């Protein structure tokens, strides 16, 4: 749906996009304004324009061609200038739609000071729908990003040794990827050893790897504007035939992952898919240790719409891209997660990543 049509249906005169990810998706301009102001303004009746810091103006104009681009110097009030340009581009600006999930209270106040308006609609809903079903070009970029994540796991596994710390492993892997040309990661890589993996969002530390323990790696890169996200486990041992602690718990998580991947299909709900993995873990007696949703959407952002979670009756459609990542987290003892992101097709769920699982590497 065109933005102007959406504005009409939602009784709004003007759309104000503030999220860099939304702006990149809509007009192809990729920038991080940091603490400065960047907005893409789309009137229901009138011409759209981009407003950026002065240091971005030339690049934006060269990137965007005919789209009007305005800027501001650091000593100027950006909101006064934005409102001035809004009035030049749109005769109606009393009812405004903004991204509820992104616009800050400071930005709202800055605009409202110069242009009293009523917020009538949430552009987050528009963007969620617009970005929900990926094109083949987007899927190709997600696959390329997934290939780079596979390389991160491959290299990381070659670096495991007794005594290496979580921080050291992350440093080695991220430097390796930078040497290959990666400029940005989806998020800081997580490497958690042994009982550290019991915290789903644990922080890398100076904890050293010991013989005969599990390693959890959660990682991803940005490639051509699209994210990857994958979690792999490895049981590290210098012994030829080690006794693998908590093997049954890892295998349970892997089974929940595999069954959800096989079951995912067009027409089922997010709730139903979450339940397939969750029930496997719950029936084995570990339901209380699976403490997060089954999955999240992925695209230009690592975490985006939709949410694959119990209670969400959204019907899954062709082209939706999301993670499948069940886990078990037992405080001070053990944590396991198996994660792939993929696209839902007529033939089923197709992962973007193909790194071997721990079970593939264990004799």
Looking at residue 363, what is its pLDDT? 62
The answer on 122 and 148 residing in a single domain is: no
The answer on 286 and 173 residing in a single domain is: yes
Are the CB atoms for 153 and 232 separated by under 8 Å? yes
| pLDDT tens string 237-263 | 999 889 999 999 999 999 999 999 999
SS3 annotation, the chain:
CCHHHHHHHCCCCEEEECCHHHHHHHHCCCCCCCCCCCEEEEECCCCCEEEEEHHHHHHHHHHHCCCEEEEECCCCCHHHHHHHHHHHHCCCCCEEEECCCCCCHHHHHHHHHHCCCEEEEEHHHHHHHHCCECCHHHHHHHHHHHHHHHHHHHHHHHCCCCCCEHHHHHHHHHHHHHHCCCCCECCCCEEEEHHHHHCCCCCCCCCECCCCEEEEEEECEEECCEECCEEEEEEECCCCCCCCCCHHHHHHHHHHHHHHHHHCCCCCEHHHHHHHHHHHHHHCCCHHHCCCCCEEECCCCCCEEEEECCCCCCECCCCEEEEECCEEEECCCEEEECEEEEEEECCEEEECCCCCCHHHHCC
CA distance 116 to 208: 57
Count CB neighbours of 358 within 10 A.
22
How much is the pTM?
Answer: 0.92
Mean pLDDT for the stretch of residues 330-358: 97
The answer on 151 and 95 residing in a single domain is: no
Domains held by the chain: number: 2
- For the chain, the average pLDDT equals 96
Are the CB atoms for 119 and 96 separated by under 8 Å? yes
Looking at residue 254, what is its pLDDT? 98
The answer on 259 and 182 residing in a single domain is: yes
Closest CA to 345 of 264, 228, 229: 264
The answer on 110 and 17 residing in a single domain is: yes
The answer on 72 and 155 residing in a single domain is: no
The answer on 283 and 159 residing in a single domain is: yes
Looking at residue 336, what is its pLDDT? 98
Looking at residue 227, what is its pLDDT? 98
Mean pLDDT for the stretch of residues 215-223: 98
The answer on 55 and 19 residing in a single domain is: yes
For residue 312, is pLDDT > 90? yes
Looking at residue 35, what is its pLDDT? 92
Q: Please report, for the domain that includes residue 307, its CATH number.
A: 3.90.230.10
The answer on 157 and 299 residing in a single domain is: yes
| pLDDT tens string 59-95 | 999 999 999 999 999 999 999 999 999 999 998 999 9
CA distance 293 to 107: 32
The answer on 144 and 110 residing in a single domain is: no
Q: Which of 97, 130, 163 delimits the end of a domain?
A: 130
Q: Which of 79, 102, 130 delimits the end of a domain?
A: 130
| pLDDT tens string 18-56 | 999 999 999 999 999 999 999 999 999 999 999 999 999
Q: Please report, for the domain that includes residue 48, its CATH number.
A: 3.40.350.10
| pLDDT tens string 106-147 | 999 999 999 999 999 999 999 999 999 999 999 999 999 999
| pLDDT tens string 274-291 | 999 999 999 999 999 999
Residue located via tokens 């301009």 = 29
pLDDT above 70 as % of the chain: 100
The answer on 312 and 209 residing in a single domain is: yes
CA distance 18 to 22: 8
The answer on 235 and 153 residing in a single domain is: yes
Domain that holds residue 23: 3-130
Are the CB atoms for 270 and 313 separated by under 8 Å? yes
CA distance 294 to 297: 11
Looking at residue 362, what is its pLDDT? 83
Q: Which residues, other chains included, contact 105 with Cβ-Cβ below 8 Å and sequence gap of 6+? A: none
For residue 213, is pLDDT > 80? yes
Q: Which of 66, 95, 130 delimits the end of a domain?
A: 130
For residue 1, is pLDDT > 90? no
Q: What is the dihedral of CA 263, 350, 173, 195, to 10 degrees?
A: 0
């Amino acid at each position: 749906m065109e933005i102007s049509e959406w504005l009409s249906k939602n009784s709004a005169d003007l759309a104000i996009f503030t999220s860099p990810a939304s702006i990149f998706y809509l007009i192809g301009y990729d920038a991080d304004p940091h603490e400065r102001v960047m907005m893409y303004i789309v009137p229901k009746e009138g011409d759209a324009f981009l407003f950026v810091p002065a240091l971005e103006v030339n690049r934006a104009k060269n990137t965007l061609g005919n789209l009007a681009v305005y800027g501001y110097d650091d000593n100027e009030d950006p909101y006064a200038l934005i409102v001035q340009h809004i009035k030049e581009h749109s005769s109606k600006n009393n009812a405004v739609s903004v991204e509820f999930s992104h616009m800050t209270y400071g930005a709202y106040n800055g605009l409202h000071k110069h242009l009293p308006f009523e917020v009538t609609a949430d552009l987050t809903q528009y963007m969620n729908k617009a970005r929900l079903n990926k094109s083949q070009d987007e899927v190709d970029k997600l696959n390329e990003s997934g290939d780079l994540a596979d390389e991160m796991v491959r290299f990381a596994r070659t670096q495991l040794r007794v005594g290496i710390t979580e921080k050291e492993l992350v440093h080695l892997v991220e430097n390796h990827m930078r040497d290959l040309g990666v400029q940005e990661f989806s998020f800081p890589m997580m490497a958690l050893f042994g009982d550290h993996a019991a915290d789903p969002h644990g922080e890398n530390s100076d904890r050293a790897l010991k013989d005969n323990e599990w390693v959890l790696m959660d990682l991803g890169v940005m490639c051509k504007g699209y994210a990857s996200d994958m979690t792999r486990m490895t049981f590290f041992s210098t012994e030829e035939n080690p006794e693998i602690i908590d093997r049954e718990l890892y295998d349970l998580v892997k089974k929940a992952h595999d069954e959800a991947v096989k079951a995912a299909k067009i027409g089922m709900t997010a709730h139903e898919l979450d339940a397939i993995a969750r029930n496997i873990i719950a029936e084995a007696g570990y339901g209380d240790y699976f403490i997060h949703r089954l999955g999240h959407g992925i695209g230009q952002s690592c975490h985006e719409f939709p949410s694959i979670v119990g209670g969400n009756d959204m019907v899954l459609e062709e082209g939706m891209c999301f993670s499948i990542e069940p886990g078990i987290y037992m405080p001070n003892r053990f944590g396991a997660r198996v994660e792939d992101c993929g696209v839902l097709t007529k033939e089923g769920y197709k992962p973007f990543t193909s790194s071997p699982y721990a079970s593939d590497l264990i004799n």
